[in-house]
């Protein structure tokens, strides 16, 4: 999965972000209220690790907020 985030020197773990967004985007593609609720909970509970060469923190945080509004 390729996400539109800039890779920064210090950012969120890319695999962890990709996994989280795959789950959420899959839920957004369905009409299942249960799936959407589970994804909303996953976004709110997400504890993303920071790593060298990770996705830009501000961009990922903004995308999380955007998806929470969509759910």
pLDDT by residue for the chain (71 residues), tens only, comes to 568 899 999 999 999 999 999 999 999 999 899 999 999 999 999 999 999 999 999 999 999 999 999 99
- Its pTM stands at 0.89
Report the DSSP beta bridge partners of residue 7: 55
Q: Which residues contact 11 (CB under 8 A, 6 or more apart)?
A: 5, 50, 51, 53, 54, 55, 56, 57, 60
pLDDT score recorded for residue 2: 67
DSSP state of 29: T
Residue 48 to residue 16: CA distance in whole angstroms: 7
Q: Report d(CA 66, CA 47) in Å as an integer.
A: 17
The confidence score (pLDDT) of residue 3 equals: 83
Tokens 């800039």 locate to 6
């Amino acid at each position: 999965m390729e996400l539109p985030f800039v890779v920064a020197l210090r950012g969120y773990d890319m695999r962890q972000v990709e996994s989280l967004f795959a789950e959420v985007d899959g839920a957004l593609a369905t009409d299942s209220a249960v799936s959407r609720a589970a994804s909303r909970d996953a976004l709110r509970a997400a504890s993303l690790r920071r790593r060298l060469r990770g996705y830009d923190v501000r961009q990922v945080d903004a995308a999380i907020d955007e998806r929470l509004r969509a759910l």
